[in-house]
């Protein structure tokens, strides 16, 4: 997703969501540091068996192990969602079923992001999968921003101003 290609309403919504989560974490720099530290890891942090990832300004924890195979499928689903607007577009029945099962498995997973110092903020929680309708799941925006998008997307969204 390219921030510049979004409508003003979408840009404002993304800006507000990122800003709220950044504030809860301790500020814009804390959120950007998290994204940078995730990108620096040689193995994706969410595949950690400890279900915990420390970054320089805080930590991230989640309540269910996520295997590398699941992450690979999730990133493929994100690419499909970005291109087609739906995680199931263009998938054959077998792939659609596999993707649906993966999303059902990830739906209850909650990711907690907290600063090291409680004085900085309370942190925030996010889900990996959101349901638009019963049969229309999508990968949550905050998950995509933190673990999938380039850091420039977050920087642009956080500095966005309506003109």
| Per-position DSSP letters for 1-61, written without gaps between them | --GGGS-HHHHHHHHHHHHHHHHHHTSHHHHHHHHHHHHH-SS-GGG-TTSEEEETTEEEE
pLDDT in tens, 31-66: 999 999 999 988 889 888 889 999 989 999 999 889
Nearby residues of 91 by Cβ (< 8 Å), 6 or more positions away = 80, 99
Question: Average pLDDT, stretch 104-113?
Answer: 92
Q: Indicate the pairing of strand 124-127 with strand 129-133.
A: unpaired
If one compares 40 and 85, the residue with the highest pLDDT of the two is 40
Quick one: pLDDT at residue 28?
Answer: 93
Quick one: pLDDT at residue 134?
Answer: 65
Taking the C-alpha atoms of residue 145 and residue 151, their distance in angstroms, rounded to an integer, is 8
Q: What is the pTM of this model?
A: 0.87
In terms of Cβ atoms closer than 10 Å to its own Cβ (0-12, 13-18, 19+), residue 31 is: buried
111 band by pLDDT with thresholds 50, 70 and 90: very high
Bridge partners (DSSP) listed for residue 136: 133
Quick one: pLDDT at residue 7?
Answer: 87
Percent of the chain exceeding pLDDT 70 equals 99
Question: Average pLDDT, stretch 18-32?
Answer: 93
Q: Which phi and psi (to 5°) does residue 136 adopt? A: -130, 70
pLDDT at 133 over 70: no
Question: Average pLDDT, stretch 72-97?
Answer: 88
Bridge partners (DSSP) listed for residue 113: 60, 124
């Amino acid at each position: 997703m390219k921030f510049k290609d979004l409508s003003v309403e979408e840009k404002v919504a993304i800006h507000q969501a990122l800003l709220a989560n950044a504030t809860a974490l301790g500020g814009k720099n804390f959120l950007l540091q998290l994204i940078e530290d995730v990108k620096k890891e040689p193995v994706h942090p969410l595949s950690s068996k400890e279900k915990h990832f420390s970054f320089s300004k805080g930590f991230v924890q989640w309540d269910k192990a996520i295997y590398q195979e699941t992450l690979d499928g999730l990133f493929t689903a994100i690419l499909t969602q970005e291109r087609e607007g739906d995680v199931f577009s263009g998938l054959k029945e077998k792939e659609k079923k596999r993707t649906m099962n993966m999303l059902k498995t990830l739906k209850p997973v909650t990711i907690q992001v907290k600063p090291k110092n409680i004085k900085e903020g309370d942190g925030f929680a996010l889900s990996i999968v959101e349901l638009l309708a019963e049969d229309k799941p999508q990968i949550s925006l905050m998950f995509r921003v933190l673990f999938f998008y380039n850091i420039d997307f977050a920087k642009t969204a956080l500095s966005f101003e309506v003109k």
